[in-house]
Chains A and B, each alone.
Chain A
Amino acid sequence: MKHYSAFAIAREALRNHTGWQRAWRDAQPKSRYDVVIVGAGGHGLATAYHLGKNHGITNVAVIEKGWLGGGNTGRNTTIIRSNYLQDPSAAIYEKSRALYETMSQDLNYNVMFSPRGVMMLAQTEHEVRGYKRTAHANGLQGVQTEFISPKRVKERCPIIELKGPRYPVLGALWQPRAGTARHDAVAWGYARACSNMGMDIIQQCEVTGIRSEGGRVTGVSTSKGEIDCGKLCMVVAGHSGRLAEMAGFRLPVESVALQALVSEPIKPCMDVVVMANTVHGYMSQSDKGEMVIGGGADGYNNYTQRGSFHHIEETVRALIETFPMISRLKMLRQWGGIVDMTGDRSPIISKTPLENCFINCGWGTGGFKAIPGSGWATAEMVANGTPGPLAEAFGLERFREGRFIDESVAAGVAH
């Protein structure tokens, strides 16, 4: 596959762009692979990439029922941060954030990582204490964050109203190297790199059954026929419950709809990401100028990829209090994704009751930021048959053993 470079752009400009190639091969399934990954979202693709890159395993297929990145990976608001409270979370999210810094170079694909800084507003005394605690925890974990004053909040983001009617801004948790990236590019970049290593990315191919024998998976049934595999890894986010059911086990996961919306494009007005967790809303400006807005998840199980309108009303109401200048903006689009929520709001990277079957799920409302680190950790687990240091705390057994990684208190909002 040809290398992308400034030189390539110049060359193609001179010959009317006739020399570009497909970014990845449109593969059809072979009868057997060493590893089959179900789900070509960011986490499935990153797992495949790191299986090849870190462990030399390239006889791999990534099977996707729809189109690549058409799940939550192509529907999220792209916030990348690592200011979590618990140590296992900080380790994997910070690994991930660090990998985002060099992802464009690693993949030879511009994922537009923009470490513009993320600000989480403290709007109650309780939040002030909580975020100060997180800043201290992050200091011990080696994650660079800081609690900043309202004055510095206003300097970083002049369009903020500090004295909102309900919740004045009392400060913020600031992570300067957090930011955003282009979600589609992350999926496309990984797909191209995987295809380059000889892996098959198979779209429009739904897994409909899992075959097993004596506690081991032997293969999957798909809409494009039977595929045998040495190992199986399920990475299907909101559809994890269905895949687990096919394999004969249950999960501590529920699927709910989470929504986002974007406004018409306007001139640059904010160059940081702002999250307001008490009032439930967050906002950033895309490179095209749209205000990208996200809010709360539905409280009930749902597979419709829509979500309830009252969440949008609540989110927009909250954001207008915080950013009065957006009150006259027109909203262009609204959409939903089916997110996989666990009891402690932390992900699952785990072995399963079937010996050679692994699962990565439960990223819920906040897994875009985790894609590279999660892929790294999941590949390690699939290659070695057992989780490594990044993944071991995230095993399914933590629920039975009461070793939760409780981020529901730390995060409080969907992102």
Chain B
Amino acid sequence: MLILTCPYCGTAADETELHPGGEAHVVRAGPEADEDTFEAYLFQRANPRGVHFERWRHSHGCGKWFHAARDTLTMQVHGTYPAQVTEPPQDILDAIEEARAR
């Protein structure tokens, strides 16, 4: 069972308590965007065999959206962080680097 710690309420939540929300940090295309950008925004997804930055909702808990860095091959969780950022914070990137070096 996948366990993620909600960065808001601090609960170590089972995946049945959470709802997956797909790739994180997707940049929303505005009305002025061309077709390529809009297609990429709506449909094209990072699908890495490795670290994936993704959105989760603590749906049966505090109800808030947050982000997680999880390895799709090993299921290792490198950390969770609040949703109000446009890119992964440095401490998460450091944790990933450290795991790679090991």
Contact = CB atoms under 8 A, between A and B. Distances in A.
A239 B73 contact: no
Q: Specify the main secondary structure of chain A where it touches its partner.
A: mixed
Contact of A309 (B1, B72, B75): B1
A31 interface: no
B89 interface: no
Contacts of A253: 45, 47
Given A304-B72, A304-B75, A310-B16, A250 B44 contact: yes
B20 A252 contact: no
A253 B2 CA distance: 22
Given A254-B22, A399-B42, A301 B1 contact: no
Interface in B1-58: 1-2, 15-16, 19-20, 22, 35-36, 39-40, 42-49, 52, 54
Most buried by A among B45, B54, B73, B75: B45
B72 A241 contact: no
Contact of A252 (B15, B16, B36, B45): B45
Nearest to A249: B44
23 contacts: A241-B48, A242-B47, A242-B49, A250-B45, A252-B43, A253-B45, A253-B47, A254-B45, A255-B72, A298-B20, A299-B19, A300-B2, A300-B20, A300-B22, A301-B47, A303-B73, A304-B75, A308-B2, A310-B16, A343-B42, A399-B39, A400-B35, A400-B36
Nearest to B52: A301
Contacts of A400: 35-36, 39
B64 to A, nearest CB: 18
Give the size category of B's interface with A: 20 to 34
Interface of A: 239, 241-242, 250-255, 298-304, 308-310, 343, 399-400
A399 B43 contact: yes
Contacts of B42: 343, 399
Contacts, number: 61
B52 to A, nearest CB: 5
A289 to B, nearest CB: 32
Given A254-B47, A400-B35, A301 B54 contact: yes
A43 B20 CA distance: 30
Contacts of B44: 250-252
A302 B72 contact: yes
Q: Which residue among A251, A301, A309 has the maximum number of chain B CB atoms within 10 Å of its CB?
A: A301
Nearest to A252: B43
Contacts of B70: 300
Given A253-B47, A303-B49, A343-B43, 18 more contacts: A242-B49, A250-B40, A252-B44, A254-B45, A255-B47, A255-B72, A298-B20, A300-B54, A301-B47, A301-B54, A304-B72, A304-B75, A308-B2, A309-B1, A343-B42, A399-B42, A400-B35, A400-B39
